[in-house]
Structures are given as C-alpha cells and as structure tokens.
Amino acid sequence: MKKTLLILLCVLLLSVPFVAACNSTPSQESQQESENASTPAEESKEEGIAFPLEKKNWNGTTIRVLTRTNESANQFVPNEEAEGTVISQAVLDRNQFIEENFGLTLEIESTAQPAVEIGTYIQSNLDDYDIVCDALCRMLPSITENYFYSLNDWLDLSKPWWDQQANNYLTLSDKIFFVTGDAMYTDDLHTSCILFNKADYNKYFKEQYGSLYDIVDRKEWTYDLLSEMAKAYSQPDDTGNWTNLDCRYGIVTDGYTGASQLVTGSGVLTVAKDNNGDLTLHVGDEQSINAFAKVYDILNDVSQSMYVEQLTTDDKWNDISNMFIDNKALFRIAYVINLLAIKQSDNPDKVDPGIVPIPKFDKSQEEYYDGVNIYQCEVLGIPVSNTVRREATCYMLEALAYYSSKYSPFKEQSVTYSVYDTTLKLQSVTADEDSRMMDYILSHRMYDLGAIFDWGGGLTGVYSFCLYGGSNNLVSKWDSMHVSVEQKMQETLEAYRNSIA
C-alpha cells in the first residue's frame, strides 16, 4: 500500500501544469546550528553564487545513475509522460545546460533496491554505474560492505546547495559517504510535519488560542497543546463508539510515523553524536522515556487519536488519509509530500491544509525538530566500482546540485524552485504563513542514525513497537536490547574507520 501511494503521489507531483516564472537532545553542534539559523518568522536564502568549479569540457561523457523508479528517477531525467510540466521542464533545462556547457550527460537505470543491487556489480568487477541513489535505510548500512567512496576529498560539501544538516548528522568517524541537497528533492518531500485543518481550527480554536502560526512563533506549540485541542475536537460515532471511520478525530496518523516523529519532535534521537563525534545511545535516557510516555498516552487515547494499525478496514492507509482530506480530522502527523495528495483530491469540499512543525515536548525546549521518512528520503553515493569516471562524476554531482538550486542563474526556473516554491508552496498551500513554516521545518530536520541502521534489529521501530503493545514497556524493552544494539553499533563504527577513504 505504501508503495502504491508513493507512486500515485509521484504522478501527481509531476502532473502539475507548467508555469514559468543527544546526549538526550541533538548534539550541541547540531542544536547550535539550528538556533543560529532563525526563528520560524525569519527564514531567508542568499542567492547569486557563482558555480565553484573551473569550466571544463568532458567531451560527451555519460554519467550513469542507478536509482529507484518514478519520483526518484525523475529527479535526474525529465518524465516523458509529463512533458512541459513545471518540474519536468526544469529538469530538462538543467540537463541541457550541463550537456551544452560541460559535455556531461545523464542516463538512469531504475530498480527496486539500488544500494543492494550495486553490490552485485561491484562483486562482479563491473563499472556499469557511476552514482547510486537510494533510501537512507539501505544506503548507510551498505558502508560496512565497502561499496562506496568517502566523499570528503572529492566534493566541497560546505556549499549551500548541499544539505548541511544531513552532512552533520550523516558524518561518522570524520567521513561522509552520502550527500543530499539541491541535486534531489525527495529529502524535502519526506520530511515530517503536522498538517492541520484550517477551517476547523479557525472555527473551534482560534478565538480561544489565537493563530496556530503565532503559537508556533511564540515557541508555545507543545505536546500538551496538541493533545488539548485534539481531545476538544474529537467526537465518537452516533452510537458512542470510537476507532472507526464515522468518528471525528483530533489526530490521525500511522503508528510508526506518529510515535517516531513525535518523539523526534522533542529533540530525542535513538542514537546521537556527542561533542567529540562519538555515537551514544539515548532510548533509555530520561528525556526519551518522558517524551514517549506522553506520546503513548496521546496516540493510544481513542478519544483523541486514531492510527492506521487500529483499523480493520481493507484500505486503512487510504482511509486515514481520506479522513483528513474529507474534513474529519483536525491534525495529521504526516510528511510534506502528503500535501500533494490533498491538492489532487477530487473532493469538492476537501480540507484547506495548513502546515506547522512537530510540536515540542514542552515550552522549555528551545527549538522545534522534524525527522525524515528513512524509507523514502534518499541520498547519493559514488560506488567503488567507479574508477574511470570518478572525477567526471564528482563534477556532475556539483553541477547537478548547483544548477538545480536557486543560487544558479536558473533561479525561479530551477528544479528546487519548481518543486518547492511553485509546486509545494504556491499550489499546495494557500497562505504565506504555510510557506514560512515549511522553510523552518526543512531547516530543522534531524536524521536518526539508530533508525537508519536499525542496530540490533529493533531500533527503527522501538517506539511504535511499544505503542502497539497494550502497555508502555519502553524501559523493559530497552533493557532487553541495549547490549546487542551497542555491540552492533560499535561494529559499524569500526567498519567505517576501516572503510575505503
């Protein structure tokens, strides 16, 4: 079902008509970067930076990308079925510019699990692919197989078209093997957020609480306030029963997204880097335990929340999505990409969605934090089988990222602008406040290495497993698994230290 929904949303995204134009908290370094960045009311971006590399003609060199289908592939080459759409046109213009000015072209091959399949090519001494693009949960664990180069000495990752938050979180033992940024857009689409029903919020809550955007700006958007509003909004069905599609709910989500992303919103990562860059486990920390206790109570209170796994309907994933679209829910714990399904719904009375960050644990927390969907958020890497074209590949990566960005001469016709400002902001939300909130959300993104690597075989879903269990057994569950998790994590770190530089 998830795969089907994703494919549908990919098509919807590309069919938009063309328009011109931890310690228990994040590491101190990461937190300081977020605090220095801005408040939700102050996001801005510098533009007009020159391409940093000396111009060079690569004489028709073709760079081959192994990637997933649909949305992933369309980041690199235009979708022929969506010719003339805003995103497809921007991708085409970028690729033609790179070919005409630098003699580099892109070819793609789509497959289900690129990070897994590249291993077969490497073991067979085949250099068929120069770049691999796949989800975080498959790319990072493959490092222990020595499938990818460290990129530290090949790319200047300090440039603003590379995602600096990702660089910080995904660097281990001073090495970074995978990058994201303006060269792609699945990282933005699969960032978590809270979608809210503007009309119902204004009808039931604005007089008492004021604007939800103002609440966020005042740093007062918390678990407790989310729960308070959700309880006040929710109604059972006509027979007084809960947990069915005839109810009205304050919160709808799926269990994994709801549990993991709410806990992340408190600033908790299952694994975080300390100030020395060493990895430390935090599931058993007081902040994690306290955050999950509140999340457990919110999501398992059937008088305020309903999640996918509680339903017994045949199409329960779409049923939860449609509850929000059909104005039967106040909040949805979701991802940015879910805005597109709302935009494309043919319901004439569909919800007018707003977007805000995941709420904080309490008012004393300094910042809001949003996580990513590790199964869909993607990164790029260069496989070790790429020896002949490695220099050209790095040049192509720099060109892809720069000429996709708003820093390039393309500006409002860039891929990033076409996806983010035109498609998401201008056509999927209706207020400047939503645009501003989206900027803030994407600049305060966190990557949980524990969830990505799933050390010990239970770390990815540790909070959702406990959510489903009938009682909050996080402490005992962690006691039973933390030794194995620590051992597996240290084995990975040792493999990183011994990996190809």
> What is the average pLDDT across 467-480?
95
Structure tokens at 95: 């690729």
Residue 4: pLDDT over 70? no
Query: 420: pLDDT confidence band, cut at 50, 70 and 90?
Result: confident
Cα 365 from Cα 32, distance rounded (Å):
13
Q: Which of 155, 149, 91 is nearest to 118 (CA)?
A: 149
Out of 30-39, 121-130, 359-368, 385-394, pick the least confident. Answer: 30-39
Closest by CA position to 199, among listed 170, 233, 165: 233
Two tokens, residue 422: 């035109």
Section 408-433 average pLDDT: 84
Check pLDDT > 60 for residue 17: no
Q: E strands along 68-116, which residues?
A: 104-110
Distance CA(295)–CA(277), nearest Å, equals 29
Higher pLDDT, 62 or 423: 62
Lookup: tokens for 491: 């084995």
In 3D space, the residue among 161, 182, 186, 157 whose CA is nearest the CA of residue 169 turns out to be 157
Which tops the pLDDT comparison, 467 or 175? 467
| Gap between the Cα atoms of 441 and 460, Å rounded | 22
> Buried b / exposed e across 173-199, counting CB within 10 Å, b at 16+?
bebbbbbbbbbbbbbbbbbbbbbbbbe
The more confident residue out of 152 and 193 is 193
Q: How far apart are CA 210 and CA 45, in angstroms?
A: 29
pLDDT computed for residue 340 by the predictor: 85
> Quick one: average pLDDT of 3-8?
38
Report the alpha-carbon distance of residue 245 to residue 322 in Å, rounded.
Answer: 10
- Which pLDDT belongs to residue 33? 41
Q: What is the pLDDT of residue 29?
A: 40
With residue 133 as reference, give the H or E element that holds it.
Answer: strand 131-135
Helix (H, G, I), strand (E, B), or coil: what is residue 282? coil
Strand 104-110: give its sheet, edge to edge. Answer: 104-110, 61-67, 131-135, 378-381
Cβ-Cβ contacts under 8 Å for 235 (sequence gap 6 or more): 247, 248
Q: Residue 26 pLDDT more than 80?
A: no
Mean local confidence (pLDDT), 92-105: 97
Alpha carbon distance 235, 248 (integer Å): 5
State residue 35's pLDDT score.
Answer: 41
316-341 average pLDDT score: 96
The one-letter code for the residue type at 232 is A
Judge whether residue 219 has pLDDT over 70: yes
**Hunting for tokens 């004439």 — which residue is that?**
348
Tokens matching residue 374:
């590790």
Q: Counting beta carbons within 10 angstroms of the beta carbon of residue 387, is it exposed (0 to 12), middle (13 to 18) or buried (19 or more)?
A: exposed
From residue 432, alpha-carbon distances to 199, 339, 438, 454 in Å are 16, 15, 10, 38
Percentage of the chain exceeding pLDDT 70: 89
Q: Find out whether 106 and 95 touch, Cβ atoms under 8 Å.
A: yes
The Cα 466–Cα 260 span in angstroms is: 11
Average pLDDT, the chain: 89
pLDDT of residue 500: 59
How high is the pLDDT of residue 82? Answer: 61
Q: Averaged over 328-332, what is the pLDDT? A: 98
Whole-number pLDDT of residue 495: 82
Confidence at 83, pLDDT banded by 50, 70, 90: low
Determine the average pLDDT of the residues in 400-426: 89
Torsion over CA: 430, 431, 432, 436 (sign): negative
Indicate the pLDDT class of residue 84, thresholds 50, 70 and 90.
low
**Cβ atoms of 153 and 178 closer than 8 Å:** no
Quick one: average pLDDT of 231-244?
97
Tens digits of residue pLDDT in 189-212: 999 999 999 999 999 999 999 999
> Domains of the chain (ranges plus CATH)?
54-188+378-428 (3.40.190.10), 192-371+447-497 (3.40.190.10)
Contacts of 405 (CB under 8 A, 6+ apart): 160, 161, 181, 182, 414, 416
Res. 85 pLDDT band, cuts 50 70 90 = confident
